[in-house]
Amino acid sequence: MRYRFRMHDPELTIRSAQVEDAPALAQAERAIAETPGLLVSQPHELVHERFAQKIAALAHADNGRYLVAEAEGRIVGHGLLDPLALAAVRHVVHLTLVAHPGWQGRGVGGALLGSLIAWAKSAPAVEKIELHVRSSNARAQALYRKFGFTEMGRWRRRVKVAPGQYLDDVAMELFVS
């Protein structure tokens, strides 16, 4: 699917993630994780084998989806809806969204999120999207609100970014059924 989110944004192609994409996705998250307060993972925790396993697991799932955005011939962002494992909560998916370094604030996150929500609305097995976002991440929260997510509450002092230094984690949700 080709996609241009706003008039001056780059033309993006949104497609399903392939296992071969895993190293590029892991590398991008490691670079972002060098800045505390965006992702919860630390760089050494972001190994490409786990990305490959998740992509493979969601490739044929009826209740999960893994997408990448491409521009100028390379991957510039990725996002996934990861279903919760237990039977009673398998209609709930957890959102992860990443615009790669150099491509943030250019519509990549919005394009991926729009595509993921559209897919979720068309997937009978998915009823609700949940996410966690650090309280300091104003851009991400603004984007989620724009797409209809509402804040459910906050886990205080949940993410330890340095000894004695914590961030609150904000819980948000969107019903899609």
For ligand COA, the binding residues (CB under 6 A) are 32, 38-39, 97-99, 104-110, 133, 137-140, 142-143, 146
Least Å distance between CB 30 and ligand COA? 12
Local structure of residue 37 (DSSP, 8 states): T
Least Å distance between CB 144 and ligand COA? 8
Least Å distance between CB 49 and ligand COA? 21
Write a three-state SS string for 63-107.
CCEEEEEEECCEEEEEEEEEECCCHHHCCEEEEEEEECCCCCCCC
Nearer to ligand COA, 86 or 142 (CB): 142
Nearer to ligand COA, 27 or 137 (CB): 137
- Give the full edge-to-edge strand order of the sheet including 128-134: 2-3, 12-16, 65-71, 74-83, 92-99, 128-134, 165-175, 150-162
Comparing every residue's Cβ against ligand COA, the nearest one is 109
Nearer to ligand COA, 125 or 135 (CB): 135
Is residue 41 within 8 A of residue 33, CB to CB? The reply is yes
Nearer to ligand COA, 88 or 142 (CB): 142
Least Å distance between CB 88 and ligand COA? 25
Least Å distance between CB 90 and ligand COA? 22
Nearer to ligand COA, 62 or 148 (CB): 148
Is residue 123 within 8 A of residue 84, CB to CB? The reply is no
Is residue 64 within 8 A of residue 80, CB to CB? The reply is yes
Q: Any residues with CB less than 8 A from the CB of 153 and at least 6 apart, and which?
A: 170, 171
